[in-house]
Amino acid sequence: MRILIVEDEKKIADFIRRGLKEEGYAADVAYDGEQGLFMAKTNDYDLILLDLMIPKIDGLKLCKKLKEEKVIAPVIMLTAKDTVKDKVKGLDAGADDYLTKPFAFEELLARIRAILRKKDAKAPTKLKVADLEIDLPTHKVTRAGKEIELTTKEYSLLEYLMRNEGAIVTRTMISEHVWDIDFDTFTNVIDVYINYLRNKIDFESKVKLIHTVRGRGYVLKEE
């Protein structure tokens, strides 16, 4: 899952971004409304965290513009304004939820999960390819009934591959959905993490699921 944070206070933005990355989300930051609008229109985000008091285009106007531009990512507004009138303005502008500062990060995560569950209400709770299975709510990964311990980034990469079962995913696609916007696509980090997954997923099995498509990328499938 990829999240855009639109927040002009760098300390707050960095805190949220760091926390989201620790939870397995790819997170990008825009520090003003114009940058936020551009990034939301040019990238595929699953959710947007939007502060109200931001320069160039304020949060309310930006939220309205996002809806006008047919940006479908749900929006959670973050603001110090906590009156009922302010909340109503935010929701009327198109926000899906409204969280007042200061807030506990655990509550923000709960709000994010609730919004994403609603967005993917018809989505499966498990992903399965051959004898490899992911339980999405618990992040539990098993192969042939044996649990496999993965790091947060390994899990995110595996989930992305399994959601695209049978399709070739390029390094650019992986970097956009698993890493954040500052990721250097010229490094070999993706190849390294693919090897980590192979060692944990395929090493003890006769049936290999993670395949390299030379010159194009990777595909997860049962052959």
Taking the C-alpha atoms of residue 19 and residue 22, their distance in angstroms, rounded to an integer, is 5
pLDDT at 176: 78
Residue 141 burial (10 A CB sphere; 0-12, 13-18, 19+): buried
Contacts of 171 by beta carbon, 8 Å cutoff, 6+ apart: 185, 190, 217
> pLDDT tens-digit profile of 52-87?
999 999 999 999 999 899 898 999 999 888 788 888
End-to-end C-alpha distance for the chain, whole angstroms = 28
Residues 7 and 89 occupy one common structural domain: yes
Taking the C-alpha atoms of residue 181 and residue 192, their distance in angstroms, rounded to an integer, is 19
- The pTM of this model reads 0.69
Residues 109 and 157 occupy one common structural domain: no
pLDDT at 212: 94
pLDDT at 81: 80
Provide the number of structural domains found in the chain. 2
Residues 159 and 188 occupy one common structural domain: yes
Alpha carbon 71 to chain centroid, angstroms: 16
> pLDDT tens-digit profile of 131-185?
999 998 888 999 999 999 999 999 999 999 998 999 999 988 888 788 876 667 6
Give the closest residue to 158 by CA, choosing from 148, 45, 80, 188.
148
Question: Domain range holding 77?
Answer: 2-119
Residues 95 and 139 occupy one common structural domain: no
Residues 9 and 107 occupy one common structural domain: yes
Any idea what the CATH number is for the domain that residue 207 is in? Answer: 1.10.10.10
pLDDT at 157: 94
Of 27-31, 124-128, 152-156, the poorest mean pLDDT is in 124-128
> pLDDT tens-digit profile of 100-112?
988 999 999 999 9
Taking the C-alpha atoms of residue 32 and residue 77, their distance in angstroms, rounded to an integer, is 14
